[in-house]
Amino acid sequence: MTIAPVVKQISVKAAPERAFQAFTANTGAWWPKTHTIGKAPFETVVLEPRVGGRWYERAADGAETNWGKVLAWDPPRGVTLAWQISASWAYDPDLITELELRFEGRDDGTTRVSLEHRHLERLGANAAAVAEQLENGWAPIMQLFVEFVGA
Amino acid sequence: MTYRADGLTALGDGTRRAIFERLADRPRAVGELARDLPVSRPAVSQHLRVLKEAGLVDETPDGARRIYRIDPRGIGAMRDWLDQHWDQALAAFKDFVETPEEPAP
């Protein structure tokens, strides 16, 4: 049994090169400020542009918090990242969920951006451990997260 | 999405937790679980029964064997969060990409 992947598609009015560059090299400029796992707000998000490169957020004081790594690097057509953030909102080097981005240029000058976040069932063991720890299931975990990111 | 109370009780046992974590890694048959753990095969079967009644694992027949795997309902909340996260992140990404670049100084 697997969990259905999260699949998204959007169209942007820009060439694939620009879309790819914005996604990978300027992540910190558009990434939701509240969707972060570092102890302090991030100043930037860094994606090292090569297979095996790190993907992390960096706070103003220089502290780095890992998110994952680059699994496939094919500019400007696509990039596949390991999203290694567990259900307890922490970096877990043993957890790999895959995030694949595709950038397809069209004749009208726009780019179709396709996103697939898959292997979410791998979050399972951790999800259960967290539930056991808090003894109250998922709702309070989500509440803690909302309070954490809302602070 | 919440775990049922009996699911939490079921995972309070160390052996059941070990079984559950092995099934989260990949689906397995009873015999394989018993080989990995310092408990008897009947004991593993008993633990699996408790986990199944708690809604934490599911089983499917495979010839004479039964293959056990985790029941993913508990992961639903994380998936829901990611689904919303990517909607929000991609909308912000689109705004950023479509904003004209500053002319070079």
Chain-chain contact of B79 with A4 (C-beta, under 8 angstroms): yes
Residue A127 lies in a domain: yes
Instruction: Provide, rounded to the nearest whole percent, the portion of chain B with pLDDT above 70.
Output: 73
Query: In a 3-state reduction of DSSP, which class is residue A122?
Result: helix
Side chain identity, residue A37: I
Residues from chain A contacting residue B1 (CB–CB below 8 Å): 137-139
> What residue of B is the nearest CA neighbor of A3?
B72
Domain total in chain A: 1
pLDDT digits (tens, 9 = 90+) for B32-72: 999 989 999 999 999 999 888 777 788 888 888 899 987 76
- CB–CB of B53/B15 below 8 Å? no
| Residue B53 touches chain A, beta carbons under 8 Å | no
Q: What is the CATH number of the domain that holds A47?
A: 3.30.530.20
Chain-chain contact of B88 with A32 (C-beta, under 8 angstroms): yes
> DSSP state, A119?
-
Domain boundaries along the sequence of chain B: 5-73
Residues from chain A contacting residue B96 (CB–CB below 8 Å): 22, 26, 29-30
Tell me which residues of chain A have a pLDDT lower than 50. Answer: 1, 130-151
Cα–Cα dist A45/A86, whole Å: 18
Residue A1 lies in a domain: no
Cα–Cα dist A66/B24, whole Å: 23
In the A/B pair of chains, how many CB contacts fall below 8 A?
Answer: 125
Domain that includes residue A117, residue range: 6-150
The model carries a pTM of: 0.62
| Residue B58 touches chain A, beta carbons under 8 Å | yes
Residues from chain A contacting residue B4 (CB–CB below 8 Å): 137
The pLDDT assigned to A121 comes to: 73
Say how many Å lie between the first and final Cα of chain A, rounded.
37
Residue A146 lies in a domain: yes
The pLDDT assigned to A53 comes to: 98
Instruction: Tell me what ipTM this predicted complex has.
Output: 0.73
CATH fold for domain B5-73: Arc Repressor Mutant, subunit A (1.10.10)
Chain-chain contact of B86 with A6 (C-beta, under 8 angstroms): yes
Q: How does strand A6-12 pair with strand A54-59?
A: unpaired
